Chains A and B, each alone.
Chain A
């Protein structure tokens, strides 16, 4: 059991006071993610001609795009369209055959694929977050909920138990997990709670970029809505940039500013989300949009 779950003796008032400093968001709050979060002269992330082949088959082919601060990019396509391969290449989980992924947090651009492993891991722990479709891939199932959130903070150098526990409590509240569940393991949680815990674990360090792979996959519809609402609020409050891979057009309609449509490893259409969905140009996008069942 992680040490962070054993700090219950610290006074509640002190925890709250320390939490403001611990989560690095003390001055933030709803409404502060104004136009400035969409600013910057250079994109936060630039993918340049990313190609990944599996033998003779193309996983993703010649994909380029830019992501700006505060922007949410949706990537949609059917199974096998290459969207998950693309996300894996972006996150460094998979090495592309060719292409570059440039990241610019404001202090110059770095080619994340050319980084030394230690540097890449540091980036993943601090500036980037990855939300897996299956919470089991993104959580430590044998560690308490508080420990899961605290562990990521400790990865960025946090050491004060009181601060860490307070930040964990704060984040559990933000993802709507009751404080009395802090010492429970994720295996005792429902799928929706596990997914929200995974989001808390990822966002506690205040990342700039969040990559999400089918974040609502496998969840009940009512739970999906709750999660989407939560993610949308966090993107606004924290000024996050995000890339959301999904096959669900309703998810991108609600979450994404821009949309890329993939088929057979290639981007066949991209643009404003509402424009691509309401006035699709490519035959494949028209097929996807017209195939959605209405309720």
Chain B
């Protein structure tokens, strides 16, 4: 069984505050990502790439279908099962960093390791190593990322996503606002995660990045609902 398996997945949004308008986004979506594989989601803006990614993360509810991540059916699991899955098996690098104001960047990065019971020393050590690799100046480590530039925030977000060796990893535009040098660092991190056997599903707008790290592509346009 693949690490990430999606089958027969439907999604629509019902906007109660806008006359109950129903917006179908995905119908019958299916894909599988094996251990050690990196798969890119492609498709035009609005095709449902991020929606599909968010459903796999348990952030959006599934209308119908099955989402298996490390054997847990995210579409049916209780919240606490999803929390446990996110804590130790399913990593996620979102496009935007959302953190508690005042928490230093170093702590933000170390947090996923502390959550799985790592020692404080080990967690902070790993966080320092990642922030160093991602060229985040050391003078920023003790500061809250809320005041950082977009690119700096994204690097904190990436370091956080790669802190713990999750068997499944979701990457939503991890290189979008990075310069060439840092983009290369991120792609190397992806390579390393793949080499240790992680199943990775990513959205990369940059075709060169896709060609560099992805084994294959899944075009979500194929899951567009057929108008009634």
Which positions in A face B, CB cutoff 8 Å? 29-36, 38, 68, 71, 225-226, 228-229, 232, 236, 253-254, 257-258, 271-272, 274-275, 278-279, 281-283, 286-287, 290
Which of A31, A274, A279, A283 is packed against the most chain B CB atoms within 10 Å?
A31
B120 touches A30 (CB 8 A): yes
Report the minimum CB–CB distance from A291 to chain B (whole Å). Answer: 9
A31 touches B118 (CB 8 A): yes
Q: Is B103 interfacial (CB 8 A cutoff)? A: yes
B88 touches A35 (CB 8 A): yes
Could you write out 7 A-B pairs with CB less than 8 Å apart? Answer: A35-B117, A71-B80, A229-B103, A257-B79, A271-B61, A282-B16, A283-B16
A278 touches B114 (CB 8 A): no
Quick one: which of A275, A286, A290 contacts B61, CB cutoff 8 A? A275
CB interface residues, B 1-17, toward A, < 8 Å: 13-17
**Whole-angstrom CA separation of A65 from B220 in the bound complex:** 37
User: What 17 additional pairs, Cβ within 8 angstroms, besides A229-B103, A275-B58?
Assistant: A31-B119, A31-B123, A34-B117, A35-B117, A38-B87, A236-B114, A236-B115, A258-B79, A271-B61, A272-B83, A275-B59, A275-B60, A278-B59, A279-B59, A282-B16, A283-B16, A287-B17
Contacts of A36 in B (CB 8 A): 117
**Whole-angstrom CA separation of A281 from B102 in the bound complex:** 32
Q: Is B30 interfacial (CB 8 A cutoff)? A: no
Contacts of B54 in A (CB 8 A): 278-279
Contacts of A38 in B (CB 8 A): 80, 83-84, 87
Quick one: which of A29, A35, A279 contacts B60, CB cutoff 8 A? A279
How many residues does chain B have at the interface if contact means C-beta atoms less than 8 Å apart? 30
Contacts of B98 in A (CB 8 A): 253
Q: Whose C-beta in chain B lies nearest to the C-beta of A43?
A: B80
Report the minimum CB–CB distance from A171 to chain B (whole Å). Answer: 20
A-B contacts, CB under 8 A, total: 82
**Whole-angstrom CA separation of A179 from B48 in the bound complex:** 55
Which positions in B face A, CB cutoff 8 Å? 13-17, 54, 58-61, 79-80, 82-84, 87-88, 98, 100-103, 114-120, 123
Contacts of B14 in A (CB 8 A): 281
B120 touches A29 (CB 8 A): yes
**Whole-angstrom CA separation of A279 from B62 in the bound complex:** 10
Contacts of A226 in B (CB 8 A): 102
Q: Whose C-beta in chain A lies nearest to the C-beta of B102?
A: A229
Contacts of A275 in B (CB 8 A): 58-61, 79
Quick one: which of B17, B101, B102 contacts A283, CB cutoff 8 A? B17
Q: Do A229 and B100 contact each other (CB < 8 Å), given the known contacts A275-B59, A287-B17, A290-B17?
A: yes
**Whole-angstrom CA separation of A283 from B15 in the bound complex:** 8
Q: Do A34 and B115 contact each other (CB < 8 Å), given the known contacts A71-B80, A257-B83, A283-B16?
A: yes
Q: Whose C-beta in chain A lies nearest to the C-beta of B114?
A: A31
**Whole-angstrom CA separation of A281 from B63 in the bound complex:** 11
A272 touches B82 (CB 8 A): yes
A281 touches B61 (CB 8 A): yes
**Whole-angstrom CA separation of A32 from B59 in the bound complex:** 27
Shortest Cβ-Cβ A-B pairs, 8 listed: A34-B117, A283-B16, A225-B101, A279-B60, A31-B120, A31-B114, A272-B79, A229-B102
Which of B61, B116, B119 is packed against the most chain A CB atoms within 10 Å?
B61
**Whole-angstrom CA separation of A197 from B225 in the bound complex:** 55
Report the minimum CB–CB distance from A26 to chain B (whole Å). Answer: 16
Q: Whose C-beta in chain B lies nearest to the C-beta of A287?
A: B17
